[in-house]
Structure 1
Amino acid sequence: MKIASLTTYLIEPRWLFLRVETDDGLVGWGEPVVEGRAHTVAAAVDELSDYLIGADPRRIEDHWQVLTKGGFYRGGPVLSSAVAGIDQALWDIRGKALGVPVHELLGGAVRDRMRIYCWIGGDEPTAVAEEAARQVEAGLTAIKMNGTGRMRHLETTAQVSAVVDRVAAVREVMGPDRDVAVDFHGRVSPAMARVLCRELEPLQPMFVEEPLVPELSADLRRICDSTTIPIATGERLFSRWDFRDVLPAGIAVAQPDLSHAGGISECRRIAAMAEAYGVGLAPHCPLGPVALAASLQVDFASPNALIQETSLGIHYNQGSDLLDYLADASVFEFADGHVERLTAPGLGVQIDEQAVRKAAEVGHRWRSPIWRHEDGGFAEW
């Protein structure tokens, strides 16, 4: 068995799909993308294909080592995301060749269903209580919301109160038996992160996500030590070496992204590292169906998996949504806030290739929003 071709497809709203085919007709799918840099990642996949064409797709770990280290210059989101999508596709091929889901190749299932959550609100959250109520009615037991819009280095009492009021409104809807996660999205300074966590403690969020931008990870210990709220981070960490520096800081939840942090191979290792620190796993996944399927495969094989993010109905999904490129969307149906274990071979999903090719004729050039403060200065999005 040899790798015969690698083909990328730019798909609305902001996704990049990868199709890897072998010389005997097996097809694996991956989702290698950096949101807002999809064309750049596609170029990286094309460069890496020079090594992969003609290679045995079953040597997944060897390929991972060569692709991440063989170019001398290592790391960064573009390379690790390109490798992530390739890695997902190779695991998909391996599972299909053996007739088993990927989690069976990772040691077998440790659970029968996986708890999930969806987003409510947008980048600048409004009407969050109404959206939370709709998700409860749909059957979810957990949601995540942005805690803030743009935030200055130090903010007024009114701005702090506005954050607390939004979260309080959602907590009232969700009640004590459901969970509210609050995403700071790296928008706040270390000082404001401590202030906001202190004020949010009575509302008992499930966790506060990314209280700091990743370049300030050395300050995470101060945040963790200053609050009783569990701290989550990891969507902008791209390897086990990045997580090695934050796991001892006292975080409660590790959030590697299966399309950014080296794919199934690396995120499986990150999950095991996190377990050694008593840290739960909640893969970041505001992306498409391949990324979600890959995340769930790791979840079903990881004892410390806590909850899984999905992009269903997320505000970025304009023009396409999570289920639009699946031949059978029922695999992601949820009941009581959980998705049943995927049992089909490989990643467990069947991609509608005709729909993918048609969407790729349009493509996209999605870019991250550029935010500015009232004084004109750059603001973290």
Structure 2
Amino acid sequence: MKITAIRTVVVNAIHRNWVFVKVETDQPGLYGWGEATLEWKTRAVIGAVEDLEQFVLGQDPRRIEHIFARMTKFSFWPLGSIGLTAVSAIDQALWDIKAKDLGVPVWQLLGGQVRDRVRVYTHLRRARIGAQVGTNDIGAFCAAVEETIAMGYNAIKLGFVPYCAYEATVPDLLHVEKTAMAVRERVGPDVAIMTDFHGRPASPEVAKAFIDVIAPIRPLFVEEPIQPGHASAMAGLARRVDCPLATGERLFTLREFAELAELQAVAHIQPDLSHCGGLTGGKKIAAIAEAGQMGIAPHNPMGPVAGAVALHFDVATPNFLIQEEAVGLVPWFDEVFDHPMRLKDGCWEVPTGPGFGIEINEEAAARHPFAPEIVPALEAVLGDGTIASW
């Protein structure tokens, strides 16, 4: 079996363009899907996929580690977020092809089933574009949280922390504390609440100030309390707060995750399987996390291929904690995609079909072509005009 072509299919989802990668083979009807979505880097990622194609064409797609090495080692330069996103999508598609060729779900190739269902969490109103509610009106915010939980979830991730840089003002701290307590009171003790700081605090001291007022609601974890890439600073923060921390969506290499494990910097890591080397990279990162006694909660606010990939990974990963999902991001999600993400009692069911169980209606996808995204990060400006971290 040989790889004959690699194609990209772009679907605009308002805040991001989903980039799907289709790896085709010389076997009639046998191909694989991967996802290379990287916010606001669409054309760069497509170019990276095209650059990598020369290392992949003519290869046997079932030799996944071999092709992974061809893409990463022949590239010579460290690939970074754009290059590794392209690698990840191609890698995912190879797993899809191999599992389809064998007639088994991908999770069988990852070591087999270790759980009967995959717990998931969503965002406010399932992150539906145009349906978000800010925390200025705490009552309306809590009502939206309650509405979201009623959709069948028992876990939700929320943003409590404002743009703040090097200062946590008293009014901001009091408002965050009041909001967090109101949410916990509204949903009760049985709903898991996570909060994403998005690296907005520019120092561990600011992060600690906000964590301290949120900690009493017992969040499952606080995500990216500081900017990624400084494992020792994260470890120092973790030892000073009474709350589990998590990070990893903007980390890519085994070395970066190994540093977190060595320093026991966080309780849980969040690799994105569309950025960290696909399933080939993800499996190794999960083993590093297990050795470091850390849970794994894969990042995924993206499209359906990324969701299906994460689902199969979660089914077969022993130290899995919870999965981020974005099935409700756009109203036409199920019109364009046949996918295995089926919600029941706050969990996804274990898929049984061959491959990832994902199919894209390319004719329907063409109705949502590439367009410049709406970039919410542009709003990340402090009162004095300083650019903040989004």
TM-score (norm 2): 0.92
Alignment partner, residue 365 of structure 1: 372
Q: Is the 8 A contact 2:25 2:31 kept in 1?
A: yes
Alignment of 1:270 onto 2:285: yes
> Are residues 1:91 and 2:101 paired?
no
What is the one-letter code of the residue matched to 1:248?
A: E
Letter in 2 for 1:47: D
Q: What is the count of residue pairs matched by the alignment?
A: 373
1:91-240 to 2 correspondences below 5 Å? 91-120=95-124, 122=132, 125=135, 127-188=140-201, 189-240=203-254
Q: After the TM superposition, which residues 71-82 of structure 1 pair with which residues of structure 2 at under 5 Å, given as runs?
A: 71-82=75-86
Runs of 4+ in structure 1 deviating by more than 4 angstroms, as ranges, are: 121-126
Equivalent AA in structure 2 for residue 346 of structure 1: G
Are residues 324 and 163 of structure 1, via their aligned partners in 2, closer, same or farther at CA, if it must alter by over 3 Å?
A: farther
For residue 353 of structure 1, report the CA deviation from its aligned partner: 2.7
Shift of 1:81: 0.5
Q: Give the whole-Å Cα distance in 2 for the aligned partners of 1:211 and 1:347.
A: 33
| Identity rate, percent | 39
Displacement of 1:174:
2.1
2:10 match: secondary structure: strand
Contact kept, 8 Å, 2:145 with 2:183, in 1: the verdict is yes
Q: Structure 1, unaligned stretches of length 5 or more?
A: none
Against the structure 1 CA distance between its residues 313 and 131, is the aligned structure 2 distance closer, same or farther, given a 3 Å change threshold?
farther
Further displaced range: 212-221 or 175-184: 212-221
Contiguous gaps of at least 5 residues in structure 2: 126-131
State how far apart, in whole Å, the 1-side matches of 2:85 and 2:216 are: 38
Other structure's SS at 1:138 match: coil
Pair 163,321 (structure 1): closer, same or farther in 2 beyond 3 Å: farther
Structure 1 residue 368, shift from structure 2 partner: 5.3
Give the equivalent residue in structure 2 for 1:350.
359
Q: Is the 8 A contact 2:55 2:74 kept in 1?
A: no
Distance in 1, Cα, partners of 2:381 & 2:341: 38
Q: How far does residue 75 in structure 1 lie from its aligned partner after superposition?
A: 3.4
Matched, 1:20 2:33: no
**Structure 2 residue 21 is the aligned partner of structure 1 residue 7:** no
The one-letter code sitting in structure 2 at the alignment partner of 1:254 is: I
Amino acid at match of 2:307: L
The Cα RMSD (Å) is 1.6
Q: In the aligned structure 2, how far is the partner of 1:372 from the partner of 1:159?
A: 16
1:157-181 CA-to-partner distances (Å, cap 9, x unmatched) read: 1101111222222212221111000
Q: Would the alpha carbon gap of residues 58 and 299 (structure 1) be closer, same or farther in structure 2, given more than 3 Å must change?
A: same
Separation of aligned partners in 1, 2:328 and 2:312 = 22
More off after superposition, 168-177 vs 139-148? 168-177
